[in-house]
Structure 1
Amino acid sequence: MNPSRRPLALGLVLATLAASACNLPDLKQEQAEAPALPQTSFVFAADGSLITPLHAEQNRVIVPLSKIPENVRNAVVAIEDKRYYDHMGIDVKALLRAAYVDATTGRIVEGGSTITQQYVKNAYTGDEQTLSRKFREAVLAYQLEQTLSKDEILARYLNTVYFGNGAYGIQAAAETYFGRPASELTLAQAALLAGLIAAPADYDPVVRPNLATNRRNQVLTQMRELGMIEPGAFASAVQRPVNLHIRQRSTERYPAPYFVDYFKQWFLSNPRFGKTVQDRYDLLFKGGLRIQTTIVPRLQEQAEQAVHSILLYRSDPYAAMTVIDPRTGYIKAMVGGRNYWDPNDRFAKVNLAAGGSTGRQAGSAFKPFTLVAALEHGISPSQYFNGSSVAVPLSDGTVWTPGNAEGSSYGYISLESATINSVNVAYVNIEKAVGDGDIYLGAQRVVDTAKRMGIRCCTQTTSPKNQLVPVPSAVIGTNEVNTLEMASAYGTLADGGAHVAPTPVVTITTPDGKVLYQARANPKQVVNPAIVTVADGILQKVVLYGTGAAANIGRPQIGKTGTAQNYSDAWFVGAVPQLVAAVWVGFPQGQVSMQFPTTRISPVYGGTWPAQIWRAFMVNATHNLPVKPFPTSNVRFVTLRIDVTQGCLANPYTPPQNVDTQTFIAGTEPQLKVCKQPTSYQLLPVPSVIGLKESAAIDLLRSAGFVANVAYAASDQRAGTVIAQDPQAGQRALQTSTVTITVSRKVSTEVVPNVLGMTQAAARTVLRDAGFEASVQEQQQCDPADPACSYQTGVVWAQSPSAGTKLPSGSTITIIVNP
């Protein structure tokens, strides 16, 4: 430019500044309107270990000046603003020089900004390349110097400035480039970072190590010239190689990725953290939060190992698992798929533990909710239902005829046995009974129970999001669910009927330590403890000798298997008092039948791979947990004799064949009145008891309404068997009358004792003790007048049969006695 035009250019600059001065900016207003400085949030496990940082485009962690070494501060001052401690926020000499150059070239060329001005630009004015913006920056910098100390300004600057590779602030820069906090930076490392501020891309040590090294040495030279470091320290630092420890932000893997995804969804969908999703996003990724989650690294690792130990091959189905502490609702582990980090798996980032996009059919794992509904409705565990056939008229005019697994037929089976053996047909009939004969009402009551216990607890963060559908097939698990809600609902059974909503977080605090969120267990008693005690007793038998035996770990545990239609989904959900885990196995792409040749075992039931995974996890997870029983309640039972022909309580004259004795949990029994008819004893058919054992015959007669009288007789029939009865079978006799039964007596063989020479009384005693009867005949042995006759009155002189003969016990021995 022509020298004669320089005064004109300077005049233009001064004119522009003068015009801007008419509208001076106000620091307080700027501070009030400035957006909060983005800070990186950190997600920690329950044991305090770091899981992963979370940040948006700016990775920043604010640290106080006390944690920034003096070498770092000096290095930045030396290279960015060597007169920092001498000016009042504006280096007039540098500013006029830069303004002159900018004006004479017609564009912004030189900065001339002090550290204070750079901070103002980062925090308030932005980096618009105009003279008016530069003027506002200078004014605000001056005002800031009147408000804060040099150290305070320098600390703020070091926490805002960009160091490249996504690192904002000195702490993030130290972690990004050297894998250490700012407080541990060496002199050489401090100089390298200080050198990046002017041009992070140009001096990037990752892609331009030589330029970065030269720039570092330039900073060190400036520090030496300003007397900030000794010559020896300078010589040592410039000789050090640049050894980086780069944190690869885009490819870095962290533990429990499916859980982290779930946590993000939980946070972003929670109105307590902001009115809008954007507000919550800004808080999570820019708010510098410290988040202590519920995840336990040991349990997480054991859950992943359990899945991989059973499903070994890429051709195997996928698995998902959620583990919860039922007492607190804390999510302890979550496996959402095969490998979150697999770039070749299109389902890798789909969190199947949270249901994926649809959820999956629960199969018979849904039956415990019907079990609870049935017990609440007054159905006894011992009440019998048809387990072989059922036909259900549907609302669309068709008839549904469900079957059992593999076409099994069970006849009539109790509620307890139907649960242990997972009998579909019986459970459809149970559902109908829950609805008092209306199966749609029964289905509604079943899904209401499931919802009350925890199903659909978390529709903001999981799938499916639709409500449970109360259709007849709901009882066998045609509604879709996910492992989180299944674990949560079974947790209600593990904790005595109290439900605690699941949570992934213990505490969330802001950078300054303010508690933003604190998890508080708020158990809600949703099922009567007495009902849960009975249900748990049945579900423990499922694992002991029912369909869930493959999950048995040898301690008190409940559980239930589930297999969806066409074997497309398989479940095992179970619990010990301290932990509940839900396991699903299936293919994420859809309802793929898990039968050969698709799977290497055929078919896949809930009692196969899912139960095995559950056991593989729980054996390790419970290793250090004390063995505890489930919470129990003093369950009182009520027994009622019901006349099933009239639906009332049997009276003393009710025929026994009309009476069904049913046991109910106290409080669930039906409120029935005593039958008014009949009013007298009835003529009842006498049952046949011939051939039965004595005790069975007595029980049968008693149950038929009669009293048994027992007589015994020797017989060649098996001892204790009824050989006759009176009245005969089929005859009619008055209720409560007596039926005499004759029972065979064992016939034993005894040896006839010798009673010759004994008195009649003594002989009788000996024979009786030997098991014989005595028949006495009086006859003279000889003529008493004959001197040769040794006649003794009353003495036995002959017996028949003779001594030593073997006869049946009870036989008669004839003895001849002298008169």
Structure 2
Amino acid sequence: MENNAEKAKERAEPATRWEKLRRRIGWMTLLAMLTLAGGAVLFFRFGDLPAGATMQTTQIVDANGQLLASLQGGVNRQIVKLSDISPWLVKATLAVEDRRFYEHAGVDLRGLARAAWVDMRHMSKQQGASTLTQQLARNLYLSHERTWSRKLKEAWYAAKLEQTYTKNEILELYLNQIYYGHGAYGAEAAAKLYFNKPAKELSIAESAMLAGIPKGPRYYSPHLHPADSRARQRKVLQAMRNTGYITREQTTKASATTLQVRPLPEEEERAAPYFADYVKKIAIEQIGIDERLMNEGGLTIRTTLDLQMQQKAEAAVKKGLNGGNLELQTALIAIDPRNGYIKAMVGGRNYRSNQFNRVFARTRQPGSSFKPILYASALEQRTVTPVTRFRSEPTLFYFDHDRQIYRPSNYNGRYFNEEIGLRQAIAASDNIYAVNTIMRVGPEAVVSMARKLGITSPLKAVPSLALGTFPVSPFEMASAFSVFANEGRRTSPIAITSIQDHDGKILYESHPLEEQVLDPALSYVTTNLMESVFDRGGTAHRVANLLKRPVAGKTGTTNSDAWFVGYTPELTTAVWIGYDRGRAITSSEAHRAAPIFARFTEAALEGTPPHVFPMPEGVVNAYIDPATNLLAASGCSGQAVMESFLAGTEPTESCAPAGGASGEHGGAGAEGRSIWSKFRRWVGV
């Protein structure tokens, strides 16, 4: 049995060697037959070369044309003429890649036969058979898949290249096309990357090192594998010596030269890196731009971002986080509510250390910043008005046909322990008032309002929805509040305005669609109520002195999240503060969101005159007695305040006995004094 096994093994080994030889001979024979078919070359002249696929840098620019990022697939290329490339690099390249370049017609039959012979002797692929022209054809027109159809096309295109261009033109194309590693394509970019000099000034030793890299850009990189790079350089020098391009003395001297390879430059800090990533995602996944075209097609992507605003957003975030825990994260997005243009985006504290864009994170509870959506729903249904009063005290709420109990509480257990109106509830962020409101309006109506405003995150129609217990993203919150800022009109946020190819042809152009989703009067009344957040007693009063223009907004605080979402007529901004893993935030950390919003808003709109929120038709202003929430009149005990109502929901009764002068505070005078009061707050007097 043992002898039979040995004999079987002996029979198997020759069969294996023969099989390998037959496969190798068959492969090379087929290739030789394809390339040796001289008559087939005649049909090459009847077809045209396709457009070359030379990789070019795609640029993302801001609204003013300022560069934000280069999407290149890592491409760094600078096209130069052959006369601007060192003759030593030309000779080194020819010596190691294609010694018979000036003799063949695109496919080197002699080299092919030599490679086949060496391969058969070694029973493996030891020799390459592609000419320099074939390599150029592959890089320009084809993929790098190992198939017969690709090899046939490669030979065909190589022959066409030889018919179309002179030898020196092909060599120039090749030396501007070939990849030298670390994102450098072409001799000029490689010379500057590795030796900080133009390709024209390369020495013999430098040229030999560069010429050796394309065979394996990663393996022969002088940065990643210096020993292998030096060994490859010596092999190139020997090839140059064997072809007679350099003398023995030049070979010895170049081999002994210690090259000063330039350190790789540190990656430059990109402007708006989170936004640039978002733009690429939108272009590929929503607009349908091919990813290879995106990275290599030399596109110009014009965006909505304002680089100056972006820089001010980053500065405000940096100052707002200064001195805090280094793990504390943030997100900021600013949108022009008039057209949906995204003007600034900060997705985190440090892009280099963490590329996750928290602007789109649907994992954070908005807390009380969600309440304006609740109150807009209640105002729309006219179940609540600015003078509707609820008692602020610990309260039990029964729902689901009284089968469930909800026990909300105010922040830090603070209650007014008296009846309060809607403006006071918004300013102080009273939770009891909010839950009373959702119990009156119905949670389903609040979900419906959120959907109209553009919030798509999952929401449940339960009482706790009033307190922002269901996670949404800063992106959604900024989009929703933009509807209030834009008089009830909704425009989906836009990041890209146009995409052009390298010839200037428009591939895509945005056409924003605006939809009136809320009554302008409802948006105004909701906005007017949110302005009180900055008044004395409001949750954002401490930052009111930083703002010199009309602003509306809402704070939001949970155990692990701090928010401020606010707007002017020109800019809506959402700011989130918290930890990635939901760790609890401290009281001081919770107070960082509003200052970031205020500093950014004022800096971003520097030079833009303050504008009031325009009051549309359907709004009625009336002076109200705060003690009774009835129309103010002579003899009322409290100081009258002006309140805005949807027409038809304003009080009709006066706080004074019948016959009192209930109208003395109404009309234009009331509105004028209100504006003067706001102006005094804006200027800080």
* TM-score (structure 2 length as normaliser): 0.72
- Equivalent of 2:564, from 556, 572, 580? 572
Q: 2:60–2:302: 8 Å Cα contact kept in structure 1?
A: yes
Give the one of 618, 626, 646 matched to 1:665.
646
**Kept in 2: contact 1:319–1:336 (CA 8 A):** yes
Cross-structure match for 2:249? none
Please give the secondary structure, in 2, of the residue aligned with 1:384.
coil
Cα distance in 2 for residues equivalent to 1:318 and 1:327: 29
CA distance in 1, matches of 2:384, 2:145: 77
Look up the equivalent residue of 1:637 and give its one-letter code: V
In structure 2, give the amino acid aligned to 1:17: A
Q: CA deviation at 1:518?
A: 2.7
Per the TM alignment, residue 636 of structure 1 is displaced from its structure 2 partner at its CA by: 4.5
In the alignment, which of 297, 300, 303 is matched to residue 313 of structure 2?
A: 303
**CA 1:102–1:620: 2 relative to 1, 3 Å:** same
Secondary structure of the 2:562 match is strand
Q: Within the alignment, does 1:394 sit opposite 2:402 as a pair?
A: no
How far residue 514 of structure 1 moved from its aligned partner, in angstroms, is 3.0
Correspondence for 1:430? 437
**What is the deviation of 1:215?**
8.3
Quick one: which amino acid aligns to residue 162 of structure 1?
Y
C-alpha distance after superposition, 1:313-372 (max 9, x if no partner)? 226743322222222322222233333333xxxxx34332222xx421112211211232
Q: 1:196 to 1:369 in 2, by over 3 A?
A: same
Aligned to 1:417: 424
Determine which structure has greater relative contact order: mean sequence separation of CA pairs < 8 Å that are 6+ residues apart, divided by chain length: 2
How far apart are residue 558 of structure 1 and its match? Answer: 1.0
Q: What is the one-letter code of the residue matched to 2:85?
A: V
1:513 matched to 2:501? The reply is: no
Contact 2:620–2:650 (Cα < 8 Å) also in 1? no
Report the alpha carbon displacement of residue 615 of structure 1 after superposing the two structures with TM.
Answer: 1.9
Question: Alpha-carbon deviation of 1:111?
Answer: 4.3
Q: How much has 1:106 moved relative to structure 2?
A: 5.8
Give the CA deviation at 1:118.
2.3
Quick one: distance in 2 between partners of 1:303 and 1:638?
Answer: 36
CA gap of 1:82–1:244, structure 2 versus 1, over 3 A, is same
Partner of 2:553: 559
Q: Does 1:700 align with 2:657?
A: yes
3-state SS of 1:481 partner? coil
What amino acid sits opposite 1:528 in the alignment?
D
Whether contact under 8 Å (1:75, 1:223) holds in the other structure is no
Q: Distance in 2 between matches of 1:317 and 1:104?
A: 64
Q: What secondary structure is seen at the aligned counterpart in 1 of 2:344?
A: strand
**Pairs within 5 Å for 1:8-407:** 17-18=32-33, 41-54=58-71, 56=73, 59-60=74-75, 67-68=80-81, 70-72=83-85, 77-78=90-91, 79-80=93-94, 81=98, 84=101, 87-91=104-108, 108-111=125-128, 113-122=130-139, 123-124=141-142, 126=144, 138=155, 140-148=157-165, 150=167, 153-154=170-171, 156-158=173-175, 160-170=177-187, 173=190, 176-177=193-194, 185-188=199-202, 191=207, 193-194=210-211, 196-197=213-214, 200=217, 204-206=221-223, 207=226, 242=260, 244=262, 246-247=264-265, 253-270=269-286, 272-273=287-288, 280-311=290-321, 312-314=323-325, 317-342=328-353, 348-355=354-361, 358-378=362-382, 381-388=385-392, 391-395=396-400, 397-405=403-411, 406-407=413-414
On the 8 A contact 2:377/2:445 being kept in 1, the answer is yes
Q: Distance in 1 between matches of 2:327 and 2:117?
A: 73
- Give the whole-Å Cα distance in 2 for the aligned partners of 1:273 and 1:128: 28
Contact map agreement 1:54 1:284 (CA 8 A) in 2:
yes
2:515 is aligned with 1:524: yes
Cα 1:151–1:332 change in 2 (3 A) is: farther
Give the Cα–Cα distance (whole angstroms) in 1 for the partners of residues 521 and 348 of structure 2: 38
| 1:620 correspondence with 2:603 | yes
Which amino acid is the alignment partner of residue 448 of structure 2? D
Matching residue within 575, 594, 615 for 1:632: 615
Q: Is the 8 A contact 1:328 1:500 kept in 2?
A: yes
Structure 2 counterpart of 1:495: 486
Amino acid at match of 1:392: F
The alignment covers a number of residue pairs equal to 591
Contact 1:385–1:430, Cα closer than 8 Å, also in 2: no
**Structure 1 CA distance for aligned equivalents of residues 523 and 464 of structure 2:** 24
Deviation at 1:410, TM superposition (A): 5.1
Tell me, in whole angstroms, the C-alpha distance in 2 between the residues paired with 1:388 and 1:318.
Answer: 34
Structure 2 residue aligned with 1:535: 526
Q: In the alignment, is the contact (CA less than 8 A) between 1:205 and 1:213 conserved in 2?
A: no
CA contact (8 A) 1:289 1:509 kept: yes
- When residues 470 and 623 of structure 1 are mapped into structure 2, their CA distance, relative to the original with a 3 A threshold, is same
Q: Quick check: 1:362–1:569 contact (8 Å CA) kept in 2? A: yes
- Which SS does the other structure have where 1:360 is aligned? coil
User: Residue in 2 aligned with 1:473?
Assistant: 464
Look up the equivalent residue of 2:532 and give its one-letter code.
Answer: K
Shift of 1:273: 0.9
CA offsets per residue over residues 596-645 of structure 1, 9 Å max, x none? xxx364xx65xx32212222323332333332223432445399xxxxxx
TM-score when normalising by structure 1? 0.61
* The structure with more radius of gyration: 1
Aligned counterparts of 2:600 and 2:344: Cα–Cα separation in 1 = 11
Amino acid aligned to 2:606: H
How many angstroms does 1:513 deviate by?
Answer: 3.1
Distance 1:145 1:335 in 2: 52
Post-superposition offset of 1:61: 5.8
- Range moving further from structure 2, 204-213 or 496-505: 204-213
Q: Please tell me whether the aligned partners of residues 455 and 477 of structure 2 are also in contact (alpha carbons under 8 angstroms).
A: yes
Amino acid across the alignment from 1:513:
G
Secondary structure of the structure 2 residue equivalent to 1:308: helix
Q: CA deviation at 1:174?
A: 5.6
Structure 2 CA distance for aligned equivalents of residues 224 and 581 of structure 1: 69
Residue 448 of structure 1: how far off its partner (Å) = 1.7
Q: Distance in 1 between matches of 2:541 and 2:644?
A: 28
Q: Report what 1:587 is aligned to.
A: 579
Q: Which digits, 9 at most, give the CA deviation of each residue in 1:661-680, with x for residues without a partner? A: x995237799xxxxxxxxxx
- Judging by fraction of residues, say which structure has more helix: 2
C-alpha offsets along residues 519-550 of structure 1, whole Å, 9 cap, x if unaligned? 34333222222222222222222213322212
Distance verdict in 2 for CA 1:222–1:580, change over 3 Å: farther
With over 3 angstroms needed to count, the CA separation of the structure-2 counterparts of 1:469 and 1:37, relative to structure 1, is farther
| CA spacing shift, 1:15–1:418, aligned 2, 3 Å | closer
CA 1:446–1:176 in 2, change beyond 3 Å: closer, same or farther?
Answer: farther
Tell me the CA shift for residue 408 of structure 1. 0.7
Q: Deviations along 1:470-517, whole A, 9 cap, x unmatched?
A: 222222222211211111111222222222212333333333433333
Secondary structure at the aligned position of 2:392 is classed as: coil
Residue 671 of structure 2 is matched in structure 1 by none
1:120 partner amino acid = A
CA distance 1:372–1:86, shift in 2 (3 Å): same
Q: Distance in 1 between matches of 2:658 and 2:147?
A: 108
Structure 1 unmatched ranges of 5 or more: 1-8, 227-234, 275-279, 343-347, 457-465, 640-661, 671-694, 704-819
Please report how far the alpha carbon of residue 75 of structure 1 lies from its aligned counterpart in structure 2 after TM superposition: 5.6
Q: Percent identity?
A: 33
Tell me if the contact between 1:61 and 1:172 (Cα under 8 Å) persists in the aligned partners.
yes
Larger strand percent: 1
